[in-house]
Structure formats: C-alpha cells, structure tokens
Structure 1
C-alpha cells in the first residue's frame, strides 16, 4: 500500500517503513493474530508430517509473522501464504496479503498472476481436503460436492480481498490525483494573483504617468503664455499702458482657463465620474480567479466629449499670436470629426509644440500644418530660427524635458508615428501621424 507525500507530512512519523504509528500498530496486531493462527494450525501439520509439535508451532509463528512486512513487501507475503497453503495454514495471511497486493501500485499483471496462483493453490488444497474427509466418512455427500466446495471456498477466500484491494487502491490513486490537482491549482491561482498584483501595479504606474501627462499639457501651455505675457507686460507697462492692460487681461483669462481645466481634472480624479474603465486582455485561465484584480487595474480613459478637440485649434493659435508669436495655419483635406481621444491627442501635440516654441524660440515664426487623409490625420509644427538668440531665454521659462516624451507616448499609444528634431535651417520640427480609427 502506498501513502502520499501529504500523509508523510501530516503524520507524526512512524518507525521504519511505516508512515504513521497507527499503521505500524495495526500491522503488528495483524501479524500477531496470524502468528497465533499459524501456530495453532502448525500443531496439526506437525502431527500429519510426523515431526515434533514444537517445530510445527515455531514454523507457524515464523510464517504468520511475515504479515508484519505486508506494506513493504506485499509480494513476499503472498508468496509465503501460497507456500504454506498445502500445510493448511495462513488463511488470514492469505486474505490480508491479497488485499494489500491488490491495493498497491504494482503492475496489474503481477497482481493477477499472484492472485491466480493463490486461487489455484487454495483450489487444490480444498479439493484434496474435501476428498479426504469424504473418504474417511466425515462427509456423506455426492461426488458433486467435492468440486463445488473446492471452487466455492477458493473463490470465497480469493475474490473478495482481491476486489476490495483493487477498489481501495483505485480510490487512493484518485484521491492522490485530486490532491495533486488541487495543489497545482492552488499554485496556479497564487501565481495568477501575483501576476494580477503586478498588472495592478503596472496599471497604477501607467495611470500616474497619464495623469502627470494631462497635468503637464494643461499647465505648461497656459502658464507659459502667462509668463510670456507677464514679461511683455513688464516691458511695456510704462511705454504703452493700453497694451499693458490688454496683456494683463490676457494673463487673467489664461489663468482662469488653466484653473478651470485643473478643477475639472481634479474633480474627475476625486469623484471618478465621467471615467470609464477599459480592461486590458487577460489569459482565459485567469478570468475566474483574478477578474476583480484586473478590474481594479483597469486604466481609465477620458470619456467621449471631454477634453480639447480640433475645433478649438484656432483659439489655441490665437492665444499664441496674442503672445507675440507669428503663427501660420494650413489645413489640407476636408475637415471631419474623429474619436475623442484622437482629436485630443492631435490638439495636445500642437499645443505642446507651440509651448516649446515659446520656451526655446520666443518670437520665431511658426508653421502649423494639419492634413485630413483617408485613413489618418497628420500634423506638423515647425518653427524658424528665433530672430534673436537671447530671446529664447528672455522670459526664463523652465523646461522639465517631458514634453516631447509625453507627445510621443500619446501618439504611439494610438498606433501612430511621432518624429521630432531640428531642421536644417536652424529651427525645430514636430511631426505626428495618427490613424483615423
């Protein structure tokens, strides 16, 4: 009989080959009973064989004690029981030995062969014993009784323990298989939970990056224009009071717009309204175990209709023109509407490119080109070299170096292409192409 690794782990640990002390005590008890049986039957065997009774008793005790090793060597126990069957000894050992053999994990051909040998041996012994009893006059029945009694006794002593052992062995193997599958499933669920936690952490990192990018887009452009207008206001405050008043009004308007956008964004972050979750794909095996973790890791997107769109591009260029930038807009193709995230990304690319011009090339003439194509929308913002090299830092605008990175992330996330770099004329060019669907 076999025991599982879990049995070994949960047991206190038995002596020698026993997994538990309870098994050792049971086998010792069975071996004692078998030894007593064989010792009692050894007396009659010694009388029939013409040897001292003590020798028969000792032989019976030694043969019956073989049942002690039934879990370690079940084949040996069955062979011993078959060997002493002609001596009409070891009936208990034969029954228990066959049960243990059938319940073990030995090949079926070995179990069948030994069971057949035991059946034949028992059949022969019972046939001879019944004929002897009938010859001595102990039984007065017809000749049909000899084979009937022999077959019935042999089958009755062999078949029940064999079938019970096969059932117990099959049930044990099934339980071990189920236990192994449960352990494997538990490990798989633990691994999936760890992966779900990693995905949730990745999603949180992506969301922090997205929020930082939105905050940068909202703040950088407005505040950059405010700084430019404030610098101009300082320069013309005494020379041209009317222009100073207009610049001050523009600064106030832009500040209010920036505050409004920030308030809307922070309101969404606080309440969660106006945000819809978009779940990322998950392996099918993990659906039942980690659906809650994946839902918690969903990355929100801006709801359709929120955020800037291409229809506001003229206003954006007008604000830059009011700050002193000479900006030229050219549109190719027929204007049409796109998905909210596409229009917002295109708007943000133009906005950030204009912000960079204010920061690094103040006063430079800028060309904005927008092309509506069949399957994509393309935009390009290119500025000429600034008229005065020192003008780029006149307003002392800080730069975090994240504008181009944010633009590229936005465009690539939609399956587009983003390219930026200096031009041969000494200016700078930002180009992006975004699929229309």
Structure 2
C-alpha cells in the first residue's frame, strides 16, 4: 500500500461519510497500525507509570489511547506527529513517530509546517536521547558523561530515526504529485485531441461539400454549353430537313461533332474519378482528392478544345452556327494569363452564351473582352428575345449564374449580372490577373 494511494483515498473519502477511507484495505491497514501502536505504547506505559509514580493501569491506559491515534494518520497527520512528540519524553510511540513523519511528509500539508514539525520531533528525540544516555553512563564506570561522545551519538540516533521516514515520505509525495500532474496533462491532451478531431471532421465535411460543389460546377460548365448547342442545332435541323437538305446535313454534322466533344470531356472527367478509386483495400479515397482530380480532368479535357481566351473566337463561332448573331469585341493588347484565370474567363463567356440559347432565342449578343494592366474584364450582353424565333425549350436548373459567381469570387474578382434597360440581359466579370511568361 503506497502513500499515493492512501492520500488519494483520503482526498476522496470525506464525501462518503464520517469514515475517510476510500477503500476497505486502507481502513484495515490503518486500523492494524493503530492496534500495533496502541499495544506498543501500552507496554511502554508500564515503565512510564513506574518512572512517574503512577498506577500501572493508568500508564497502560495512557499508552493505549496515545498509540491508537495512529489510526487517524490519513485524516489528521499533524495530530499524529504532535502526539508522537508529546509522548517522546515518556519513551513511547516509536512506531507512531516513524509512520507519522512518513505520512506527514507524503501528505499535502504545506512544507513549512512539515519542516517545523520534523524539527520539533527531531529536537524532542535528541533531548530525550541525550538525557537517557547521560543517566545510563553516569551509572556505568569508566565513561565521562560530560564529553562530546554523548552529543554525537544522540545526533546519529536522532537522524537514523527521523531522516529515513521523512525522506521517503517526501519522495512518495513528490512522485504522487508528479503522477497527478501527468494524469491531468494526459486528460488535457485527450480533450485537445478530441477537439482537434472534431474540428478536423468539420473541415473534412466542409471540404467534401466544397468538392461536391466544384464537381457539379465543372460538370455543368463542360457539358451544358455543348448540349445546349446540340439541342438548338437539332431544332434547326428539324426545321430545314425537308426545305434545305444540304443545310440539314451541315447541322447534323455539327450536332455530331458537338456530341463527340461533350462525350470526350465527360469521359475524361469520369475516367479520372475511376482512376482515383483504389484497386484493392477497404479504405475509400477522400472526396477532396477526387474533387481535385475531377476539376483537373475537366480542365485538361477542356484544354483540348481551347478552354482559354484564345478559343473565344471558336466559341462565338459555334453560337453563330446555331443561328445567334454574336459580335466579339477585344480591347487592349492580348496576352497570356494564369491558366485558372483564362479558364474562368472562358467559362463565364461560355455560360453566358448558353443562357442566351436557353432564355433569349433570336437575340443579338455582344461579347466584350478587355485586357487591362492588372485585370481582365469580360461582358456578355444580349438584346431582347426575338418573338418570332423558335424557342428550343432548353431546361434550366438555375445554377449557371451561381456557378459563374462562385468561379469569379474564388479568384478574388467581381461578378455582376442583371437585366438591361433595353429588355435584355448583361453578365459582367472582372478578374485580377497574374501575367505568365510566354516561352
């Protein structure tokens, strides 16, 4: 039974009733020590009664009461040491003195009080030893009781009795406090790790949501424009199939080309998503990695068809072939920008033209691109829809403008959209640029 466990029991035992022991074996140990100490002090009380001229039963009773105080060592260690000091002149309480000093040093009593009581106990033992040895040597022949021998021997005996239990108690108390601090630190670290795990889970959830949004945006931007053009060309093909077979053949060829391009882009994106899945093993690929791969695949797939500012003329031409009157105006010196900037600018114009096909059939469109010193600006403005033009009845999910705004805001740009006074619609975006060196 260590003092660490003893004092932990004493610290938590007060809430369990008048008994201060937390465990039964602690109570058994203390009661056993108290009985042994009481028996020792009772036997030593016989000699004390004879020296003091008291009746023997009184001396024995005094010894039994004084020795039984050791039972209180966990609750009141100071009282035990004080009783031990008080019984030292009567030459009783040897076990009580040793165990009392150990318990006092190992307890949470302030160190100045421990030092004071330890000094008092040592002084009492030293004085009693000096007096007793002087009396014994006076009765012996050939010894000088006034020499330094008595003092030195008394000092050695005092240190031998008091120093070991005191030092052991200090060591056990320090070890107990160290273990408690380590336990508290471990609990604190466990709480911090739990908080970090919760935050990591929240960040992972946020990242998964962001990647889902990014994948949806890439799918929408890559596929929606070409599919919209295919629907427009299919409607034109249906209208001219009997009147102008040659034009119908050209429209059919355009529909086929656009369908193949859309399938190529979609196949590239889905192919990368499959490649990111592990061939073996139960652990799934994080959605964030899949989303980044999908975005990269979309960019790579789109790059084959010119997802950059240099391909705007081709993009506009595709809308012209679908029957839309589109004017392209480029202002400023054309130059290369970061790939993400050019791709975002291209997607904004592409989605704006897609919305024209969906919602403003037959309207005139003006596409403006301005190269400025530290930014690139684009604007797609269409006039009112031609009431005589056939509506292609393209479905709309309402995600086009949202996707454009997200793309522009992610690069720190400005996005504005809304109806014009003439009854049309305008989409404008300004992107900050980082110029790239052209090899």
Q: TM-score, normalised by structure 1?
A: 0.88
Q: Is this contact kept in 2: 1:376–1:435, CA < 8 A?
A: yes
Q: Which runs of 4+ in 1 moved over 6 A?
A: 4-9, 292-296
After TM superposition, the structure 1 stretch with the greater mean CA deviation from structure 2, 329-338 or 255-264, is 329-338
Corresponding residue of 1:101: 104
Question: Matches of 2:385 and 2:8 in 1, distance apart?
Answer: 78
Matched, 1:415 2:407: no
1:160-175, aligned counterparts within 5 Å? 160-175=164-179
User: How many angstroms does 1:15 deviate by?
Assistant: 9.0
- Is 1:313 paired with 2:317? no
State the 1:303 CA deviation: 4.2
Distance in 2 (alpha carbons) for counterparts of 1:269 and 1:229: 31
- Residue 141 of structure 1: how far off its partner (Å): 4.9
CA contact (8 A) 1:196 1:294 kept: no
Q: Return closer, same or farther for 1:196/1:21 CA change in 2, 3 Å cut-off.
A: same
Q: Alpha carbons of 1:8 and 1:336: their partners in 2 closer, same or farther (altered >3 Å)? A: farther
Does the residue aligned with 1:318 lie in a helix, a strand or coil?
A: helix
Unaligned regions of 5+ residues in structure 2, if any?
278-282, 435-439
Matched, 1:395 2:384: no
Deviation digits for residues 41-86 of structure 1, max 9, x if unmatched? 1110011111121221121111111111111111111111111111
Q: Distance between the aligned counterparts of 2:327 and 2:357, measured in 1?
A: 15
> Relative to 1, partners in 2 of residues 1:225 and 1:297: Cα closer, same or farther, differing over 3 Å?
closer
- Distance in 1 of aligned mates of 2:394 and 2:271: 28
Query: What CA deviation, in whole Å up to 9, does each residue of 1:370-395 have, x standing for no partner?
Result: 1222222211111111222x74x711
Query: Residue 269 of structure 2 corresponds to which residue in structure 1?
Result: 265
SS of 1:300 mapped into structure 2: helix
Alignment equivalent of 2:60, drawn from 47, 57, 60: 57
Number of residue pairs aligned between Structure 1 and Structure 2? 414
User: Which among 269, 273, 292 is matched to residue 300 of structure 1?
Assistant: 292
Q: 1:297 deviation in Å?
A: 4.8
1:227-276 deviation per Cα after TM superposition (whole angstroms, max 9, x unaligned): 11111112222222221121111111111111111001101111139xxx
1:233 is matched with 237
TM-score after normalising by structure 2: 0.88
1:126 matched to 2:129? The reply is: yes
* Residue aligning to 2:378: 379
Match of residue 279 from structure 1: none
**2:191 aligns to what SS in structure 1?**
helix
Classify the secondary structure of the residue corresponding to 1:369: strand
Taking the aligned partners of 2:64 and 2:335, their CA distance within structure 1 comes to 102
What's the CA shift for 1:37? 1.3
**Alpha carbons of 1:295 and 1:24: their partners in 2 closer, same or farther (altered >3 Å)?**
farther
Moved more, 325-334 or 73-82: 325-334
Does the Cα contact within 8 Å between 1:200 and 1:296 map onto a contact in 2? no
Change (3 A) 1:5 1:317: farther
CA distance in 1, matches of 2:182, 2:152: 44
Deviation at 1:321, TM superposition (A): 0.6
Q: 1:5 to 1:435 in 2, by over 3 A?
A: farther
Partner in structure 1 of residue 198 of structure 2:
194
The yes-or-no answer on 1:43 pairing with 2:46 is yes
Cα–Cα, structure 1 residues 94 and 7, in superposed 2: closer, same or farther, change >3 Å? Answer: closer
Q: Which digits, 9 at most, give the CA deviation of each residue in 1:336-391, with x for residues without a partner?
A: 22222222111111110000111111111111111222222211111111222x74
1:425 aligns with 2:422: yes
SS in 1 for 2:366: strand
Partner of 1:77: 80
Give the corresponding residue for 2:324. 325
The structural deviation recorded for 1:160 is 1.8
8 Å CA contact 1:366, 1:383 repeated in 2:
yes
- Per the alignment, residue 151 of structure 1 pairs with 155
Task: State the 1:215 CA deviation.
Answer: 1.0
Q: Does 1:405 align with 2:402?
A: yes
- 1:353 is matched with 352
Gaps of 5+ in 1: 274-291
Q: Is the 8 A contact 2:10 2:21 kept in 1?
A: no
The Cα offsets for residues 120-178 of structure 1, whole Å up to 9 and x where unpaired, read as 11111112111111223288355222211222222222222111111111111111111
Q: Which residue of 2 aligns with 1:242?
A: 246
Q: Deviations over 1:82-129 (max 9, x none)?
A: 111111111111111111111111211111111111111111111211
